[in-house]
Amino acid sequence: MQLFLQRVFDSMNNGASYAVVAIALVLIFKATTLVNFAQANMAMFGSYLAWWFHGTVPIWIAIFLAMALSAVGGALIERVLIRPFDPSDHLPVVLITFGVAAILEATAGRFWGLEFHKFESPFPAQPDDYIGIGGARLRYETLGTLLAMGLMVAAVFLILNRTKIGLAFRAVSSNVESARLVGVRTGRTLQFGWALAAALGTLGGTLVAKQTNLEPAFMAKLVIFAFAAAVLGGLDSIGGSVIAAFIVAIIQSLLVGYAQSIPGLGWLKSNFALVVAFVLILVVLLFKPAGLYGTKRVERV
Amino acid sequence: MTATSTLGSGGSAGAGGNVMLSVSKVDASYGQVQVLRQVSFTVDRGEVVVILGANGAGKTTTLRAICQMVSTSGEIILDGQDISKSDTASIVRMGVAHVPQGRGTFPELSVEDNLEVGAYVRKDNEIRDDIARWFDAFPRLGERKSQLAGSLSGGEQQMLAVARAMMSRPQVLLLDEPSLGLAPLIIEDLFSRFSDINRETGTTMLVVEQNANLALEIATRGYVLEAGQIVLTGTADELRVNPAVREAYLGA
């Protein structure tokens, strides 16, 4: 029981990071019905910026600056590389997001090298910074990560549901043509979505970088789990993807943990969880394409 | 070139300084396919004008041309201003509201949010009052204000689409086949609502319809569109008794 609890606690940090990145994916998917394959590397680049700024300013200010700069970058990418293309033709846009991903990875490698950099935790992370619950350790760092995620989810929720730009964004996501007909400038509204998603991605990256350390490919695995969470949550449901993120993280933690102790399965290392994520994506897409909380595209006329 | 026949004197309305919308010699095409050819018509301030036409005649394209949702050449004047070079969002700001075919609501938004986003271009603080007013006018919408628009029936969605369009307090309301897919009783109710709205708010209306009966009942004037060209124009009364119109659109 103690071990089980510990594994669940251990998964929370991953769950929170997956959730934040999954929301970023869902925002873009809701609005454009395409998956931003550059999301992982946008988050990677943003995390590097935070690490770089941290050379001169405190970690929280560095993370905040990196998020702001990522938002500007996301808006620029939308304006220069996405908007000129016909949104109904997905293939070119998807290829462009792959291109952006490659450019960001190469640039990060060029600037900051391919070696690992330690990313300082923005939360208390001394060995004895934990609360003991049933013999398991719930670390302050995990609590802090959950809190940061919770605040970010609340912020996104408020922006989408209580602001005019949020209303416009939901309108564009629901029906682009009608959004234009009520006077919404759809390009600018989508740009706002890209900016928000980029900032979210960077936060997600920094929440996980403190554990994995930085290197140009550090987000590659995380984004697969985040994508599995987004698919499981329904791809267009923000709340759904948050819940799904924790489901994915717990499954990952338990599977990897218990597989080790089953005789003959010791060779299943942490990469095994990646396979599980892919299988999960496949199963959801096959049997419940709308995910747990997604909109089933059925309309009455 | 097909000349437009003008019935009686009614077709010449639109002269004088009271023109709200004037479309002249407009061509429109989707890629290589030209849909509108030299279409010209006018709508006076406060008037209800109907454009009749069969499937594929170019009715929807005519409305999309006004909103610049299709590339056009020619002149489109709204209240004295040429809008043929403007973008859709700006045209909405100048006072055009468009209810597209197939309702054009936001299915994933609540009924209330649909109305709120309808007022997107407004900056005054009477938006809440207007929403309440439309809920009074359409109590069915008020009862379902927290429901997602996609879960409404066809008739309710059409009401919502009209209320949503009126939320921008438009000068001109464009209605694209509002009767499509609705039961006769609901259509009748809907058209009497259009009449009410026109009378109470003075909103100019341009309706395109296949269902000529009701449309001619609420309209002052009409045009007949065939294969992308205006072929006939007259007052509603003149059109109603015109043999060609009767045969093609009134089932008589």
What is the ipTM score, two decimals?
A: 0.88
Q: Is B156 within 8 Å of B141 (Cβ atoms)?
A: yes
Domain of residue A21 covers 2-287
In this complex, which of B89, B113, B154 lies closest to A184 when CB atoms are compared?
A: B89
Q: Is A174 in Cβ contact with B109 (below 8 Å)? A: yes
In this complex, which of A179, A182, A301 lies closest to B154 when CB atoms are compared?
A: A301
Strand extents, DSSP E, A32-147: 130-133, 136-139
% residues pLDDT > 70 (chain A): 95
pLDDT at B12: 46
pLDDT at A286: 82
Residues of B in contact with A175 (CB under 8 A): 104-107
* Pairs of CB atoms within 8 A across A/B: 80
pLDDT at B169: 95
Q: Is B120 in Cβ contact with A182 (below 8 Å)? A: yes
- What value, to the nearest 5°, has the Cα angle with vertex B129 and ends B124 and B130? 80
Residue A293 lies in a domain: no
How confident is the model over A1-6, as a mean pLDDT? Answer: 83
In this structure, the dihedral spanned by the alpha carbons of residues A36, A42, A43 and A47, taken in order and rounded to 10 degrees, is 180
Residues of A in contact with B171 (CB under 8 A): none
Confidence class of residue A285 from pLDDT cuts 50, 70 and 90?
confident
Residue A87 lies in a domain: yes
Q: Cα(first)–Cα(last) distance of chain B, in Å?
A: 29
Report how far residue A155's alpha carbon sits from residue A160's, in angstroms, rounded to the nearest whole number: 9
pLDDT at B15: 47
Residue A279 lies in a domain: yes
> Nearest CA of chain A to the CA of B91: how many Å?
8
Q: Is B108 in Cβ contact with A174 (below 8 Å)? A: yes
How confident is the model over B166-191, as a mean pLDDT? Answer: 93
Report how far residue B77's alpha carbon sits from residue A236's, in angstroms, rounded to the nearest whole number: 41
Confidence class of residue A265 from pLDDT cuts 50, 70 and 90?
low
How confident is the model over B137-163, as a mean pLDDT? Answer: 94
Q: Is A184 in Cβ contact with B105 (below 8 Å)? A: no
How confident is the model over B38-42, as a mean pLDDT? Answer: 95
Strand extents, DSSP E, A122-243: 130-133, 136-139
Residue B223 has pLDDT above 70, yes or no: yes
pLDDT at A206: 92
Query: What's the CATH code of the domain at A266?
Result: 1.10.3470
In this complex, which of A168, A174, A180 lies closest to B107 when CB atoms are compared?
A: A174
Q: Is A168 in Cβ contact with B92 (below 8 Å)? A: no
- What value, to the nearest 5°, has the Cα angle with vertex A122 and ends A121 and A126? 55
- Picking from A30, A182, A301 by the largest number of B CB atoms within 10 A of its own CB, the best residue to mutate is A182
DSSP state at residue B12: G
Tokens of B135: 């809920």
Confidence class of residue A296 from pLDDT cuts 50, 70 and 90?
low
pLDDT at A268: 63
Residue B140 has pLDDT above 90, yes or no: yes
pLDDT at B11: 45
Indicate the average pLDDT of chain A. 88
Name the interface residues of B facing A (CB cutoff 8 Å). 67, 69, 88-89, 92-93, 97-98, 100, 102-109, 113, 116-118, 120-121, 150-154, 157, 164-165, 168, 181
Residue A299 lies in a domain: no
Q: Is A167 in Cβ contact with B113 (below 8 Å)? A: yes
Residue A294 lies in a domain: no
Report how far residue B172's alpha carbon sits from residue B79's, in angstroms, rounded to the nearest whole number: 10
Confidence class of residue A57 from pLDDT cuts 50, 70 and 90?
very high
pLDDT at A113: 87
Residue A295 lies in a domain: no
Write out pLDDT tens, residues B57-71.
999 999 999 999 998
> Nearest CA of chain B to the CA of A164: how many Å?
8
Q: Is B104 in Cβ contact with A177 (below 8 Å)? A: yes
Question: How many independent structural domains does chain A possess?
Answer: 1
Confidence class of residue A266 from pLDDT cuts 50, 70 and 90?
low
Write out pLDDT tens, residues A61-116.
999 999 999 999 999 999 999 999 887 788 899 999 999 999 999 999 999 988 88
Q: Is A23 within 8 Å of A153 (Cβ atoms)?
A: yes
Name the interface residues of A facing B (CB cutoff 8 Å). 164, 167-168, 170-171, 173-175, 177-186, 295, 299-301
Which chain B residue has the Cα nearest residue A237? B108
- What value, to the nearest 5°, has the Cα angle with vertex A184 and ends A85 and B201? 145
How confident is the model over B72-93, as a mean pLDDT? Answer: 94
How confident is the model over A201-214, as a mean pLDDT? Answer: 89
Residues of A in contact with B97 (CB under 8 A): 181
Q: Tell me which residue of B79, B100, B102 sits closest to B91, measured CA to CA.
A: B79
Q: Is B26 within 8 Å of B74 (Cβ atoms)?
A: yes
Tokens of A173: 């996501």
How confident is the model over A244-264, as a mean pLDDT? Answer: 82
Q: With a threshold of 0.80, does the pTM exceed it? A: yes
Cα–Cα distance list, B120 to A87, A188, A265, B169, B172 (Å): 23, 14, 59, 11, 16
Q: Is B105 in Cβ contact with A178 (below 8 Å)? A: yes
Report how far residue A233's alpha carbon sits from residue A97's, in angstroms, rounded to the nearest whole number: 23
Q: Domains of chain B (ranges plus CATH)?
A: 2-103+170-249 (3.40.50.300)
